[in-house]
Amino acid sequence: MMDIRPVRQDEMPLILGWARDEGWNPGLDDAAMFHDADPEGFLVGHIRGEPVAAISVVRQGTSYGFLGLYIVPPKWRRRGLGLEIWKAGMERLEGRVVGLDGVPEQQDNYRLSGFEEAHQSHRYTGLLPSYMGRANVEPVGHRNLAPALSFDRKVAGVQRTTYIGRMLTDSVTRRSVAVVDGGVLHGLATARFCDTGVKIGPLLAYDGDVALQLISGLAPWIGRVPVSIDVPSPNHEGVKLVTGLGLKPVFQTARMYRGPAPKADISRCFGIATLELG
């Protein structure tokens, strides 16, 4: 029987280390950012003091939650520990619509738990062109934070103030920009360095031209390292954008929900923020 409790912030690197071992390539500065999104939303199971399983069940707004970082290290598998911590996580999100991004081999299991697919997403990876042209972007900063959070809510269909607010706060390894025209925010994007390369997301924009401006604005800061963008497949303009930049699809996931899917505007989501928190 496991002892299951919330993860302390100083334990987050261990959980993200498990994610790194699975090849999920977390961001270098994700530990504090993720934990701040919902300090009670990351669960770890212990047996005789040793951590053996984890899951994130982050509450967002008043009626939504997102499930991710569902990991049992290899030496502890096939003992029912994954199911045990899954049940604890789902109990924490009881009464809420729950979203997740599931890899193909796990999607049937999620369906058995009441999840239904909303859409596919593909990760596109590669080097950006060496010259992206001039970009009319500015930092998100304090001045643009409120309109950026409002824009995110309209696109995602859920309130994610703490999570996205932290995401849009620059650090040594994370940078965010916005396109603002006539005092109106038309798009926002974050790039964050990971164990391998850089992930761009969220990448939210009124259209492909704005999305291209955002990527171009981040490109000098990123430099000549591989980038990855998780693009919802129904956003055909987004797929056209990243393939036009020379990025190639490397794997896919399915956005799945238990309960009614939020009223998201997929046409303006050119890149998912993270697969762990949505």
In a domain, residue 44? The reply is yes
Q: Which two tokens stand for residue 86?
A: 């899954």
The verdict on 149 and 265 lying in the same domain is yes
Closest CA to 89 of 141, 48, 53: 53
pLDDT at 42 over 90: yes
Query: CA-CA distances (angstroms) from residue 210 to 46, 215, 266?
Result: 47, 9, 15
pLDDT at 1 over 90: no
| pLDDT tens track for 54-82 | 999 999 999 999 999 999 999 999 999 99
Contacts within 8 Å (CB) and 24+ apart, 173-177: 173/27, 173/28, 173/29, 174/27, 174/29, 174/33, 175/218, 175/221, 176/139, 176/140, 177/137, 177/138, 177/139, 177/140, 177/214, 177/217, 177/218
The verdict on 111 and 128 lying in the same domain is no
Are residues 85 and 54 in contact, defined by beta-carbon separation less than 8 angstroms?
Answer: yes
Residue 231's DSSP bridge partners are 122
Query: Looking at per-residue confidence, does 164 or 141 come out higher?
Result: 164
Closest CA to 201 of 145, 267, 273: 273
The verdict on 152 and 256 lying in the same domain is yes
In this predicted structure, what is the pLDDT of residue 23?
Answer: 86
Residues of the chain with pLDDT > 70: what percent?
A: 100
| pLDDT tens track for 157-176 | 999 999 999 999 999 999 99
The verdict on 24 and 147 lying in the same domain is no
In a domain, residue 110? The reply is yes
Domain limits for position 54: 3-118
Q: In the predicted model, what is the mean pLDDT of residues 118-124?
A: 98
Alpha carbon distance 101, 276 (integer Å): 8
The verdict on 153 and 260 lying in the same domain is yes
User: Which of 92, 118, 144 delimits the end of a domain?
Assistant: 118
In a domain, residue 276? The reply is no
* Chain centre to alpha carbon of residue 189: 12
Number of domains comprising the chain: 2
In a domain, residue 277? The reply is no
Q: Tell me what the pLDDT averaged over the chain comes to.
A: 96
Alpha carbon distance 18, 23 (integer Å): 9
Are residues 159 and 63 in contact, defined by beta-carbon separation less than 8 angstroms?
Answer: no
pLDDT at 131 over 90: no
Q: In the predicted model, what is the mean pLDDT of residues 51-55?
A: 97
In a domain, residue 26? The reply is yes
pLDDT at 111 over 90: yes
CATH number at residue 170: 3.40.630.90
| pLDDT tens track for 243-276 | 999 999 999 999 999 999 999 999 999 999 999 9
| pLDDT tens track for 162-213 | 999 999 999 999 999 999 999 999 999 999 999 999 999 999 999 999 999 9
CATH number at residue 28: 3.40.630.30
In a domain, residue 247? The reply is yes
In a domain, residue 92? The reply is yes
The verdict on 139 and 37 lying in the same domain is no
Residue 204's DSSP bridge partners are 188, 269
In a domain, residue 198? The reply is yes
The verdict on 127 and 104 lying in the same domain is no
Burial class (CB in 10 A: 0-12, 13-18, 19+), 169: middle
User: Which of 71, 88, 118 delimits the end of a domain?
Assistant: 118
pLDDT class for 99, splitting at 50, 70, 90? very high
In this predicted structure, what is the pLDDT of residue 74?
Answer: 95
The verdict on 8 and 56 lying in the same domain is yes
Alpha carbon distance 229, 34 (integer Å): 19
- The count of other CB atoms within 10 Å of the CB of residue 181 is 12
In this predicted structure, what is the pLDDT of residue 155?
Answer: 98
User: Which of 83, 118, 153 delimits the end of a domain?
Assistant: 118
Q: In the predicted model, what is the mean pLDDT of residues 119-148?
A: 93
The verdict on 101 and 87 lying in the same domain is yes
The verdict on 110 and 63 lying in the same domain is yes
The verdict on 90 and 148 lying in the same domain is no
Do β-strands 64-71 and 198-205 pair in parallel, antiparallel, or remain unpaired? unpaired
The verdict on 172 and 105 lying in the same domain is no
